[in-house]
Amino acid sequence: MFNFKTIESPVENILLKEKGSKFIGFAFPVNNEEELKAALEKIRSEHPKATHHCYAFRMGLNGENYRANDDGEPSGSAGLPIYNQLLANEITNVLVISVRYYGGTKLGVSGLVKAYKESAKITLEEARIITRELETTVEIEFNFNQQNLIFTLLSKYDAKVLQFDADEKCIVTASLKLSQKESISEKLSEMQYVSFDFSD
The reported pLDDT for the residue numbered 141 is 97
The 3-state DSSP class for residue 114 equals: helix
Averaged pLDDT, 166-171: 89
- Measured in degrees and rounded to the nearest 5, phi and psi for residue 83 equal -60, -40
With CA atoms as reference, report the closest residue to 15 among 42, 48, 50: 50
Distance (Å, whole) CA 183 – CA 200: 16
With CA atoms as reference, report the closest residue to 10 among 33, 34, 40: 40
With CA atoms as reference, report the closest residue to 94 among 140, 43, 51, 57: 57
80-90 pLDDT per residue, tens:
999 999 999 99
Averaged pLDDT, 167-174: 92
113-147 pLDDT per residue, tens:
999 999 999 999 999 999 999 999 999 999 999 99
**Is residue 1 over pLDDT 80?**
no
With CA atoms as reference, report the closest residue to 91 among 56, 46, 50, 43: 56
pTM above 0.85, yes or no: no
CA angle 138, 141, 147 (to 5 degrees): 100
